[in-house]
Amino acid sequence: MLRDGDKAIQFMNQDFILAPEKAIYWKEKKALLLADLHLGKSGHFQKAGIPVSSEVNSENLSRLQLITDHFKPKVIYYLGDLFHSAMNAEWREFKLWKNKNPEVLMKLILGNHDFYAIPEYENFGLKCFHELEVNPFILIHDIPDKIQLEDKVFIGGHIHPSIRFKGKGRQSLRASCFCFSENKILLPAFGSFTGTHNIKSSKKDMVFPILEGSVASLSNLI
Amino acid sequence: MSKGKSLINSWFSSKNWKVFDFQEEVWNACLDGKKGILNAPTGSGKTLALWMPNLIKWIEKHPDSYQEKTNNGLKVLWITPLRALAKDIQSALQSSVDDMSIPWEIGRRTGDISQSVKQKQNRRMPEVLITTPESVHILLAQKNYARHFKNLDAVVVDEWHELLGTKRGIQVELALSKLKALRPDISIWGISATIGNLDQAKDVLLGSDINKDSSVVIKANLKKDIYIESILPDEIEKFPWSGHLGLNLLPKILPVIDNHNSTLIFTNTRAQSEVWFQKILEARPDLAGAIAIHHGSLDRKVREWVESSLHEGNLKAVVCTSSLDLGVDFSPVDTVIQIGSPKGVARFLQRAGRSGHSPGAKSSIYFVPTHALELIEASALKSAVNEHEIESREPILKPLDVLVQYLVTLAVSDGFMPDEIFNQLKNTFAYQTLSETEWDWVLTFITTGGKSLSRYQEYSKVVIDEEGLYKVEDRKIARRHRMSIGTISSDSMLRVKYMTGGSLGSIEEWFISSLNIGDKFWFAGRNLELVQIKEMTAYVKRAKGTKSKVPSWLGGRISLSSNMSEILRDKIRQVSEGKLEDIELKTIEPIFEIQKAWSTLPNENQFVIEKTFSNEGCHVFFYPFEGRYVHEGMSTLIAHRIAKHTPITFSIAMNDYGFELLSDQDIPIEKAINDNIFSSKNLLEDISKSLNNTELAKRKFRDISKIAGLVFQGFPGEQRKSKHLQMSSSLFFDVFQQYEPDHLLLQQAFEEVLFFQLDEIRLRKALIKIEKQDIVLNYPKRFTPFAFPIMVDRLREKMSTEKLIDRVKKMQLQLEKHT
């Protein structure tokens, strides 16, 4: 199951595989976790007279197909911002894709971008949640800053995390990453061309940057 | 003498003015139906030179009724680069027609004119409209725009030298091509300060269909005496080797302010002006109220107050940026102080000319170096002014982004027929070489988004109707386009307002976002505390204390002109031959001695390279003295040629004197010299390859994508809604590179880098020169006076041929302070 470039880790006694396609496979639940796909972005821009190639959208879907074929999950949890904005032709592409994979159950945790589309999602049979408890975690789009429930651990996206490295000779670079900390797991944005945001992390955190198609572990690097 | 002329002459006499020879010359040329350029400085009577022919013609045409006829439609379009100038021109022209009882209305139409005035103009145009290039294009975006121009006789383009060589200049060319098509006999004149290529400036303005026999360049030839003095440090040994603020010499400029009526202090950046303003006040609290600050980010009202106070002679000094390069006549100003290098002779003269405006008065300018080596520039500037060597303004050719914008503008208003527009474009200077293929691409781009339809299924911007007319039907797209016409691109800005009301100006969003509530910063010469951010406005209150930040604005760094760098090299040569005649060169002699002792002071036949190790890694410095732009190209080229054979990562810095390659590992420069890295062979190929590894083209693409309408800034007050349509230009760049690498806008970015930023011709010349020189490679133990100012520069270009993972292995995780 583990390919070159994948990274297996254990967290809260659960087994995860971090895929460089920017997704997490959760073995115990046979679940695939993805955040911030921002599908339909290109169509949304095109409608407004701004030419963003539709290949941006199809690339997202073919990457999704690739990991679905590989991990064969029973369920996919979309952790919010599945769609970039109002429905458009690229929605059809997504429906086609979903119909091609009938054996996979799909659930959506609503993100800030998704509110445009709740009726369409529901008509289509994509179950929507504001947050969802999947033991021992809580799946949510935007993990609140001050976490009240000390005993719960959140899995979320929203901020499109990346980290920055600095080196001798005034070098620096940044990479999208997964971040595991005491009470949360952050996923990088799955959608291509979505931008990233540098995160704060402490020494206790485990950060896994994606470098040239493989998930690296910081402890091996530094 | 004709009636018109004699009336004008008597108006001049009634004012106790004499008609200058050049004014008469311009009148005659205009009346003969000639077009052209008037070369005259500000305050010389240039406005009247080009204004009077219109009145003369009017009187000649209606000798009996010229004082009665009203509602004559738009006769004269007066285009100025700066809306601040519009008001002054308006009142000058209005008072002349009022004096002669000619019932003409002189109107203004710029970004700051209220909607109701604009609507009134739409119903009935004034006889004269003073406007900016952008506003002309907004007019062209109106339905049935041709009605405004059906009586148009003349177009005057003021300060054409400021527009030439910029994309706003292209907008002028495009607007003129349209107006010429509507009114073939239209008179076109430009007013320009002295530049090296006045004849070409004329050709660009008049277009490729110019009739050389009926076009002229008329020179006012008003000799102006200029007094130039450099402010010299007392002890050069204690004067810094690097830096750009120049505050060390502040005590020495205070007497200059005291000894003059009114002084303009020019700084090169807005941040610098804020710091200087604050420091002058600290040194001389008694000047509070008598000095002011002026820069482009300040609120219009604040700027207007400063300008009128200057005009009335109420201010002892104003700290400013290029925002006061142009503009109204400040006759009370009798001296100018330039802090730091002005980078070019033309700009230096322009600024000097802001003082001593009254006829016969001398202009005077003081040059304040901000670091030791800038004294060489001071001496170079003096020589250049004496020899009268002034730069050319190179015109831009074929920018497709501006063309895309223009075509959508036409499609938004009345639609256009491609063949007709193509012919009009071929008559402009900028697009005379536009090929059929390029034209087809542009048409495809605005109609289907790109060459492969399937990639842009939902795209619709411009549609083609049954008659073949290209037009925009979607009203939202039309509205958005009208909002974003303009080629001056700026970052997203936040307004700065007091809690109690009262606007101070605007600051780039990224600066404000680096502050926390309660943080203090300097802006508009005031110490402020950030209270809250709401709806694109930063609310502030007055603050006390000294630990305030100064916003640093990301301005493009200007390069030394090729003209200046040539004189600069000449100065270095003089020094190496021991000729220290200029006081500035004499003053920095001790620094030259250190350079000589630690490394080499190059003579004409030497090219110096220095290799120094520090705990940052290995530094290699090169000194071609060719100006920043050439160094930008040369450094990426050299870095690319070294990195081709060895996996290595460079951080590259440069200034106008030289450049530095820095790496964490040893840079094999010895081998590289043997391999002839300075060869001018395969230059274009190597440069193109090296560009792919750097951010240069990506940065250029920022402006291109805004102009071509890819990046949308949002409607005022509607930020939230349009967020979904915002994608950074760098993401666009990546999308295009991945899916459509032959995208012409992408190629334009590369070409702009090659031909404007890197200036391939200058680069090639510089390389050929180095090939003939002896390379001197030194290993100084410390950073030399030449190296130091480059080494401390934080703004760096990167290039790498190493694997990402290998690089990260050598690095440390940088933990960001805030999320």
Q: Above pLDDT 90, what percent of chain A?
A: 45
pLDDT digits (tens, 9 = 90+) for B30-81: 999 999 999 987 767 889 999 999 999 999 999 999 999 888 999 999 999 8
pLDDT digits (tens, 9 = 90+) for B321-348: 888 887 667 888 999 999 998 888 888 9
Interchain contact B709–A (C-beta under 8 A): yes
pLDDT at position B726 is 65
Contact B728 A166 (CB under 8 A): no
Residue A161 has pLDDT above 90, yes or no: yes
> What is the largest distance, in Å, between two alpha-carbon atoms of chain A?
56
pLDDT classification of B717: cutoffs 50, 70, 90:
very low
Question: Which residues between 116 and 155 in chain A have a beta carbon less than 8 angstroms from any beta carbon of chain B?
Answer: none
Q: Is the dihedral of CA B525, B528, B533, B537 positive or negative?
A: negative
Contact B818 A200 (CB under 8 A): yes
8-state DSSP, B249: G
Contact B459 A85 (CB under 8 A): no
pLDDT at position A121 is 83
Contact B804 A44 (CB under 8 A): no
Contact B457 A212 (CB under 8 A): no
B617: left (phi over 0), alpha (psi -120 to 50) or beta: left
Best mutation target, B452, B804, B806, B809, to test chain A (most A CBs within 10 A):
B804
Higher pLDDT, residue A122 or B197: B197
pLDDT at position B431 is 96
Question: Which residues between 3 and 62 in chain A have a beta carbon less than 8 angstroms from any beta carbon of chain B?
Answer: 41, 43-56
Closest partner residue to B815 among A46, A171, A200, by Cβ?
A200
The dihedral over CA atoms of B661, B665, B669, B670, expressed in degrees to the nearest 10, equals 160
pLDDT at position B362 is 84
Cα distance between residue B780 and residue B788, in whole Å? 12
Q: Rounded to a whole number, what is the distance in Å from the CA of A51 to chain B's nearest CA?
A: 5
pLDDT at position A200 is 76
Interchain contact A198–B (C-beta under 8 A): yes
Measured in whole angstroms, the distance separating CA B117 from the mean position of its chain's CA atoms is 30
Residue B614 has pLDDT above 80, yes or no: yes
**Residue matched to tokens 């008659």:** B467
Interchain contact B723–A (C-beta under 8 A): no
Residues 6+ apart with CB under 8 A from B43: B329, B331, B357
| Helix, strand and coil percent figures for chain B, each rounded to 5 | 45, 15, 40
Interchain contact B792–A (C-beta under 8 A): no
Residue B235 has pLDDT above 90, yes or no: no
Q: Which residue of B has its CA nearest to A59?
A: B739
Higher pLDDT, residue B699 or B720: B699
Interchain contact A177–B (C-beta under 8 A): no
Q: Rounded to a whole number, what is the distance in Å from the CA of B662 to chain A's nearest CA?
A: 6
Best mutation target, B446, B706, B814, to test chain A (most A CBs within 10 A):
B814
Task: Indicate the helix (H) or strand (E) that contains A106.
Answer: strand A105-109
Cα distance between residue B539 and residue B495, in whole Å? 8
Residues 6+ apart with CB under 8 A from B633: B687, B757, B758, B759, B760, B763
Higher pLDDT, residue B514 or B267: B267
CA B573-B771-B675 angle, to 5 degrees, is 135
> Peptide bond before A136: cis, by omega within 30 degrees of 0?
yes
Residue B714 has pLDDT above 60, yes or no: no
Instruction: Look up the pTM and report it.
Output: 0.82
Question: What's the mean per-residue pLDDT of chain A?
Answer: 87
By mean pLDDT, which of A74-78, B22-26, B249-253, B718-722 is the weakest?
Answer: B718-722
Report whether B718 contacts B371 (CB < 8 A). Answer: no
Residue B157 has pLDDT above 70, yes or no: yes
Report whether B576 contacts B776 (CB < 8 A). Answer: no
Contact A163 B814 (CB under 8 A): yes
Cα distance between residue B345 and residue B337, in whole Å? 15
Q: Above pLDDT 90, what percent of chain B?
A: 47
pLDDT at position B59 is 94
Burial B171-201 (b: 16+ CB within 10 A, else e): bbbbbbbbbbeebeebbbbbbbbbbbbbebb
Residue B115 has pLDDT above 70, yes or no: yes
Within 8 A of B616 by CB-CB distance, chain A residues are: 168-170
Contact B664 A169 (CB under 8 A): yes
pLDDT digits (tens, 9 = 90+) for B81-105: 877 778 889 999 999 999 999 999 9
By mean pLDDT, which of B127-131, B163-167, B178-182, B719-723 is the weakest?
Answer: B719-723
Cα distance between residue A47 and residue B485, in whole Å? 20
The dihedral over CA atoms of B407, B409, B415, B416, expressed in degrees to the nearest 10, equals -30
Contact A165 B616 (CB under 8 A): no
pLDDT digits (tens, 9 = 90+) for B204-223: 999 998 888 889 999 987 77
ipTM field: 0.79
Contact B808 A207 (CB under 8 A): no
Contact A216 B808 (CB under 8 A): yes
Report whether B214 contacts B33 (CB < 8 A). Answer: yes
Closest partner residue to B814 among A43, A85, A166, by Cβ?
A166
* CB-CB neighbours of A30 under 10 Å: 14
Residue B361 has pLDDT above 80, yes or no: no
pLDDT at position B650 is 92
Within 8 A of A46 by CB-CB distance, chain B residues are: 449, 456-460
Q: Rounded to a whole number, what is the distance in Å from the CA of A26 to chain B's nearest CA?
A: 26
Q: Is the dihedral of CA B281, B282, B284, B285 positive or negative?
A: positive
Q: What is the mean pLDDT of residues B357-372?
A: 84
pLDDT at position B718 is 47
pLDDT at position A84 is 82
Report whether B76 contacts B109 (CB < 8 A). Answer: no
Q: What is the mean pLDDT of residues B313-317?
A: 93
pLDDT at position B819 is 34
Contact B813 A218 (CB under 8 A): yes
pLDDT at position B60 is 92
pLDDT classification of B155: cutoffs 50, 70, 90:
very high
Within 8 A of B792 by CB-CB distance, chain A residues are: none
Which residue type, as a one-letter code, is found at position B214? S
Q: Which of B306, B305, B241 is nearest to B273 (CA)?
A: B306
Interchain contact B725–A (C-beta under 8 A): yes
pLDDT at position B818 is 37
pLDDT digits (tens, 9 = 90+) for B456-492: 777 778 999 999 999 999 888 898 888 888 655 445 5
Interchain contact B815–A (C-beta under 8 A): yes
pLDDT at position B257 is 94
Interchain contact B144–A (C-beta under 8 A): no
Contact A47 B460 (CB under 8 A): yes
Burial B606-617 (b: 16+ CB within 10 A, else e): ebbbbbbeeebb
pLDDT digits (tens, 9 = 90+) for B384-436: 888 877 888 889 899 999 999 999 999 999 999 999 999 999 999 999 999 99
Q: Which residue of A has its CA nearest to B462?
A: A49
pLDDT at position B78 is 97
Report whether B376 contacts B585 (CB < 8 A). Answer: yes
**Residue matched to tokens 């732009």:** B629
* CB-CB neighbours of B396 under 10 Å: 19
Query: Quick check: helix, strand or coil at residue A185?
Result: strand
pLDDT digits (tens, 9 = 90+) for B530-571: 888 776 688 888 887 666 776 655 445 677 888 888 888 989
Best mutation target, B441, B444, B459, to test chain A (most A CBs within 10 A):
B459
